[in-house]
């Protein structure tokens, strides 16, 4: 009698309680081999491809695309094929498995066949992105573990693409099989998918263009085609009264839907921060009237944070509320809040205290590009010592940014504006940047926060 095995969703290295199914690469009844792609799962940081833990027949798949699976729950069930390669019992993959009852022990399995790891294609940066203004920064911050997942472009259904690209295509309604691939080895890239979505040339479910010969095909009899025609939509019910309608394919508003991936983790992190931190916010305006042309706003904000952190180390610190310990940092690693359609990411700009204006700009552009392509390593999304939310790129003057432990402080920059400023002999119109500094009052005093804000304002007041 054959042996069956349950495969439980492993901890994908994020330390999160669940993950969302993006795409199954098999269906029930298929035969899959050891380490072949089984499913892609979306976590708070990335789309992770999960390989099959065994070789055999797929008996059951737990859930469909979009379903949330708790870590440790059954993801799939297999009927093990002893004639195919299996992983030796002594090999630990980190996967969690559950055995279904089996009357007899399985026959000894041959040693696993080593598989070659495909080389990850190098990322190609777009020069245009390097010059554009900052966009997508919001209040708050997020943490993650240091585990790194490398995405590899695998051919599924004749289309080669990494899991993040497949997830984006699904969200944008793009049929990958109809997208012109420009990546290495014929892989579909994120840019290819976004271009196809913008052009509308590869809509999911769209019928292929008819061939010329179709114009000469004999028309079907009227009595045959009539029944398949859909009824005309009307705002009236059968009783003749108005009723609510919506266009096809539009999700009804007001309907509850579960948060997934990044947004799901954001909700947890924000709630946890709210329950632990004692936040206090100071606001003021930095006068930038003396700025010379060509100043980069983000670069100047980062530099001012570095200067202030060096003058007031208590704000560039971590605080452990359980042990009541504080860690002051010699380096300044700034978490740059980046807003996306999927939710909030906070990549770390490492060693900001060693970067000049150009290095800061290049670093911010690199982090934002990696976030947008979902290629950023999880290790780049944690470990920052203080964070910056440049929400003023959208709107708003002041805010109460959320401090996420273990950090002690976060800086928020509002939308720059002109205001009348008293000067010797009258008033002048000066440009100012509204600043908000939220700090954990358990770890820093009001005086330290005020001196930090003053140091930022003094540095921003310089011409360059």
Spatial distance between the Cα atoms of 78 and 98, rounded to a whole number of angstroms: 11
Burial class from Cβ neighbours inside 10 Å (0-12, 13-18, 19+) for residue 415 reads middle
The pLDDT value given to residue 348: 95
Long-range contacts of 275-280 (CB under 8 A, 24+ apart): 276/321, 276/405, 277/402, 277/403, 277/404, 277/405, 277/440, 277/442, 278/440, 278/441, 278/442, 279/400, 279/402, 279/403, 279/438, 279/439, 279/440, 279/441, 280/438, 280/439, 280/441, 280/446, 280/449
The pLDDT value given to residue 111: 43
Per-residue pLDDT of the chain (464 residues; tens, 9 = 90+): 579 999 999 888 657 788 888 889 999 999 999 989 999 888 876 778 899 999 999 999 999 988 899 989 999 999 999 889 888 765 545 444 454 444 444 444 444 444 444 443 444 344 444 334 444 444 444 443 333 344 555 566 567 777 777 777 877 888 877 888 887 777 888 888 888 888 887 777 665 544 434 433 444 444 444 444 445 555 555 555 555 555 555 555 667 888 888 888 889 899 999 999 999 999 999 999 999 999 999 999 999 999 999 999 999 999 999 999 999 999 999 999 999 888 889 999 999 999 999 999 999 999 999 998 888 888 898 899 999 999 999 999 999 999 999 999 999 999 999 999 999 889 999 999 999 999 999 999 999 999 999 999 999 999 99
State pTM to two decimals.
0.62
Query: What are 171-184's pLDDT values in tens digits?
Result: 788 887 788 888 77
Query: What are 122-145's pLDDT values in tens digits?
Result: 443 444 443 344 444 444 444 433
Nearest to 430 by CA among 291, 255, 306, 277: 291
Tokens standing for residue 173 = 């309604």
Contacts of 146 (CB under 8 A, 6+ apart): 378, 379, 382, 383
| Residue whose token pair is 């263009």 | 209
Spatial distance between the Cα atoms of 47 and 44, rounded to a whole number of angstroms: 9
Query: What are 56-90's pLDDT values in tens digits?
Result: 999 999 999 888 999 899 999 999 998 898 887 65
Q: What does R_g of the chain's alpha carbons equal in angstroms?
A: 28
Kind of pairing, strands 74-80 and 56-61? antiparallel
Contact 40/163 with Cβ under 8 angstroms?
Answer: yes
Distances (CA, A) of 75 to 53, 59, 149, 295, 383: 11, 11, 20, 52, 32
Nearest to 446 by CA among 277, 314, 285: 314
- Residue 406, preceding peptide bond in cis (omega within 30° of 0): yes
Neighbours of 342 (CB within 10 A): 19
């Amino acid at each position: 009698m054959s042996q069956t095995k349950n495969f439980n969703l492993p901890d994908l290295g994020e330390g999160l309680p669940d993950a969302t199914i993006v795409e199954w690469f098999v269906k029930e009844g298929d035969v899959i081999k050891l380490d072949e792609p089984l499913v892609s799962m979306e976590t708070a940081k990335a789309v992770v491809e999960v390989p099959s833990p065994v070789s055999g027949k797929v008996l059951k798949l737990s859930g469909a695309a979009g379903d949330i699976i708790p870590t440790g729950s059954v993801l799939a069930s297999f009927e093990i094929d002893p004639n195919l390669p299996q992983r030796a019992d002594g090999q630990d993959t980190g996967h969690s498995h559950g055995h279904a009852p089996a009357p007899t022990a399985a026959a000894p399995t041959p040693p696993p066949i080593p598989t070659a790891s495909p080389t990850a294609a190098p990322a190609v940066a777009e020069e245009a992105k390097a010059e554009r203004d900052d966009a997508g920064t919001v209040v708050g911050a997020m943490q993650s573990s240091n585990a790194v997942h490398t995405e590899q472009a695998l051919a599924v259904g004749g289309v080669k693409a990494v899991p993040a690209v497949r997830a984006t295509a699904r969200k944008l309604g793009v049929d990958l099989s109809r997208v012109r691939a420009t990546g290495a080895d014929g892989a579909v890239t994120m840019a290819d998918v976004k271009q196809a979505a913008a052009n509308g040339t590869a809509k999911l479910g769209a019928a292929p263009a008819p061939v010329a010969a179709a114009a000469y095909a004999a028309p079907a009899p009227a009595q045959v085609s009539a029944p398949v025609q859909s009824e005309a939509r009307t705002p009236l019910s059968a009783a003749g009264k108005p009723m609510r309608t919506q266009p096809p394919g539009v999700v009804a508003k007001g309907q509850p839907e579960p948060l997934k991936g990044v947004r799901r983790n954001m909700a947890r992190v924000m709630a946890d921060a709210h329950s632990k931190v004692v936040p206090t916010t100071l606001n003021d305006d930095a006068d930038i009237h003396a700025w010379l042309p060509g100043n980069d706003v983000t670069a100047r904000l980062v530099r001012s944070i570095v200067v202030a952190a060096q003058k007031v180390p208590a704000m560039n610190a971590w605080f452990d509320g359980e042990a009541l310990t504080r860690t002051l940092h010699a380096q300044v690693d700034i978490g740059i809040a980046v807003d996306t359609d999927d939710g909030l990411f906070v990549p770390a700009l490492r060693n900001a205290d060693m970067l000049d204006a150009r290095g800061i700009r290049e670093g911010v552009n690199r982090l934002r590009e990696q976030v947008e392509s979902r290629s950023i390593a999880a290790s780049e999304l944690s470990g920052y010592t203080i964070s910056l939310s440049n929400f003023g790129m959208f709107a708003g003057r002041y805010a109460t940014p959320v401090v996420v432990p273990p950090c002690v402080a976060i800086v928020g920059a509002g939308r720059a504006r002109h205001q009348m400023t008293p000067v010797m002999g009258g008033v002048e119109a000066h440009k100012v940047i509204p600043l908000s500094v939220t700090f954990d009052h358990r770890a820093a005093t009001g005086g330290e926060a005020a001196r930090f804000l003053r140091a930022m304002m003094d540095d921003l007041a310089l011409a360059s």
